[in-house]
Amino acid sequence: MITTVTLNVAVDKAYTVKELNKGEVMRVLQCSNTAGGKGLNVAKVVKLCGEEVLATGFVGGHNGAYVEDLLKEKMVPSRFVHVPGETRSCINVLAEDGSSTEFLEPGEPVRPEDVQNFLDQFDEIIRESNVVTISGSIPRGVPSDIYGSLITKIKGAGKQVILDTSGKLLEEGVKSRPTMIKPNDDEIEALLGVPVTNREEIIEGAGKLQKMGIEIVVVSLGSDGALVVTEDGVLQGKPPKIEVVNTVGCGDSMTAAFAVGLSRGYSIEETLRYAVAVSAANAMTMQTGNFRQKDMERILPEVEIKRI
Ligand SMILES: Nc1ncnc2c1ncn2[C@@H]1O[C@H](COP(=O)(O)OP(=O)(O)O)[C@@H](O)[C@H]1O
Ligand SMILES: O=P(O)(O)OC[C@H]1O[C@](O)(COP(=O)(O)O)[C@@H](O)[C@@H]1O
């Protein structure tokens, strides 16, 4: 089973508008609500890939109950810690010029006893999982080294863990050497304290992180696909040109597909091909954390894998 950790769950709202003008009344043409927070996007995609999944984290209030219902509709099982604070909303405004403007609420604070309840149930969840993904931001009240503690527990139980976060949470988390991370160029720069301005420096930086004891370092490059650095070297996977509808959640789809590849014991090359196809297919639908099987199957053989 693949478990996805989402401490800062959200109701994701995608608003379609003609144009976005600051300071004006904007009429929304279409609104779509989905269970969000990066980890829940991962959970939905793992489910669509056909793997057994469990979503965990904190939920609260009416929005929290709504997220649980949205997950049930997608047949994604969940075991959340219920907290008094209302679960947040995140809004993504999609305009006709192709722009995407995101408003991410911080999330209501959680209490120390909520954090303890989460940790208490986590050991049992790890026993049932073979891969755990940890994604996104945390609400106030959660200690900034929590991801490090979770990674230490997961690795101590002999299971694999993917960490996809940023800033201080990533800095703290990498100290516990997760199996895989997915930093962007800014995050590599922050982790290593060196400038990263071009593809060569990205590869060099990712290589340094890999040598520090992180087995798999993935750097996604939008429409250029992704780079994967392991002890066997560097691979790039590039998708064919596709019709893009909404790229929000592409990174999460990639994380989900890597978790599936690890869980199924795919080679790193097979995993990269699959992850590029799944994440590119996610860009072809409006909903975050969603893809159509037929899109993914069409893209899969067209992903170009090259050793660098
Ligand atoms: N415009 C696009 N065309 C094709 N594939 C895309 C596009 N944007 C994203 N993807 C796919 O999704 C993956 C993750 O997207 P990216 O934008 O790099 O991540 P993030 O959402 O974390 O910023 C890419 O590696 C690629 O496989
Ligand atoms: O969980 P976080 O880090 O606060 O991010 C929240 C939001 O980011 C998103 O995952 C989109 O981010 P990406 O496009 O980078 O995948 C939203 O769906 C989500 O609600």
Sequence ranges of the domains in the chain: 2-307
- Would you give the distance in Å from CA 22 to the centre of its chain? 30
Say if residues 134 and 147 touch (Cβ distance below 8 Å): yes
**Mutational pocket test of ligand 2: of 138, 163, 252, the residue with most ligand atoms within 8 Å of the beta carbon:** 252
**Ligand 1, residues at Cβ distance < 6 Å:** 220-223, 225-226, 239, 242, 244, 247, 250-251, 254, 276, 279-280, 283
- Which band of pLDDT confidence, cut at 50, 70 and 90, is reported for residue 288? confident
What pLDDT score does 275 carry? 98
* Residue 298, token pair as written in the block: 């069409």
Indicate the CATH number of 2-307 among 3.40.640.10, 3.40.50.300, 3.40.1190.20, 3.90.245.10: 3.40.1190.20
Q: Is 289 in the pocket of ligand 2 (CB under 6 A)?
A: no
Q: Which residues have a Cβ under 8 Å from the Cβ of 86 and sit 6 or more positions away?
A: 60, 61, 62, 63, 64, 108
Q: Residue 249 Cα, ligand 2 centroid: separation in angstroms?
A: 7
Q: Is 88 in the pocket of ligand 2 (CB under 6 A)?
A: no
What pLDDT score does 107 carry? 87
ipTM of the complex: 0.93
- Which band of pLDDT confidence, cut at 50, 70 and 90, is reported for residue 287? confident
Q: Is 249 in the pocket of ligand 2 (CB under 6 A)?
A: yes
Neighbours of 196 (CB within 10 A): 23
The mean pLDDT of 135-148, rounded to a whole number, is 95
Q: Residue 99 Cα, ligand 1 centroid: separation in angstroms?
A: 15
Buried b (16+ CB within 10 A) or exposed e, 20-36: beeeeeeeeeeebebbb
Q: Residue 308 Cα, ligand 2 centroid: separation in angstroms?
A: 30
Q: Is 159 in the pocket of ligand 2 (CB under 6 A)?
A: no
Q: Residue 140 Cα, ligand 2 centroid: separation in angstroms?
A: 17
- Which band of pLDDT confidence, cut at 50, 70 and 90, is reported for residue 22? very high
Q: Which residues have a Cβ under 8 Å from the Cβ of 25 and sit 6 or more positions away?
A: none
Return d(Cα 133, Cα 3) in angstroms, integer.
Answer: 6
Q: Write out the catalytic residue numbers.
A: 252
What is the position in ligand 2's atom list of the atom closest to the CA of 252?
A: 16
pLDDT at 246 over 90: no
**Mutational pocket test of ligand 2: of 90, 166, 169, the residue with most ligand atoms within 8 Å of the beta carbon:** 90
Q: Give how far Cα 89 sits from Cα of 45, 68, 82, 95, Å.
A: 20, 14, 17, 19
Q: Give how far Cα 221 sits from Cα of 10, 215, 225, 230, 237, Å.
A: 25, 20, 5, 17, 10
